[in-house]
Amino acid sequence: MEWALPDPFVIDIHVTQEAIDAYQHVNNGEYLRWVEQVSWAHSEALGLSLERYRALDRAMVVHRHELDYLAPAFMGDALKLATWIVACDGRFSLTRRFQLKRVDDEKTLLNARTRFACVALSSGRPKRLPEEYLHCYGGAVVAESCRD
């Protein structure tokens, strides 16, 4: 499968009845849930689980979501959702990109971008990225190309 950027972290999604809305396609809120799901899976693969977040008293919280819905998904579709970390400022924020494709025709259904801010779990106040976050997230940054 060809992706917008190299070396994505990818999860498989199978569209079930719970994702379908009154228009008989995947509800737009479901896409956002999947974006969160792949973000956590990628963070865990990088070694940053919820337990590590708690131990470090830090969290990456959503500052901004941008979701471009390009085509609908339907009941029974097999999908692949890719993510990349495309920016990490080394201080307070990181940005992820996402691309959702249907397996059968490799059509891109969604392009998305999320900017996260680092906060202390104990207070909810902005805090600098811990060194462990800089190592894990910063080391995973993929440069965006002119194909965007």
Instruction: Provide the whole-model pTM.
Output: 0.94
Closest CA to 16 of 1, 27, 32: 27
Helices (H), 46-109: 50-56
3-state helix, strand and coil shares in percent for the chain, rounded to the nearest 5: 25, 35, 40
What is the average per-residue pLDDT within 17-42?
Answer: 97
- pLDDT for 144 equals 85
- What pLDDT, in 10s, does the model give residues 1-27? 999 999 999 999 999 999 999 999 999
Residue bearing tokens 């025709």: 105
- What pLDDT, in 10s, does the model give residues 66-91? 999 999 999 999 999 999 999 999 99
Q: In what order do the strands lie in the sheet with 108-119?
A: 9-14, 78-88, 93-102, 108-119, 59-69
CB 3 within 8 A of CB 82: yes
Domain boundaries, the chain: 9-138
pLDDT tier for residue 37 given thresholds of 50, 70 and 90: very high
The CA angle 89-138-6, to the nearest 5 degrees, is 110
Q: What is the DSSP letter of 46?
A: T
* Top-tier CATH class for 9-138: alpha beta
Residue 145 in this model has a pLDDT that exceeds 80: no
- What pLDDT, in 10s, does the model give residues 78-127? 999 999 999 999 999 999 999 999 999 999 999 999 999 999 999 999 99
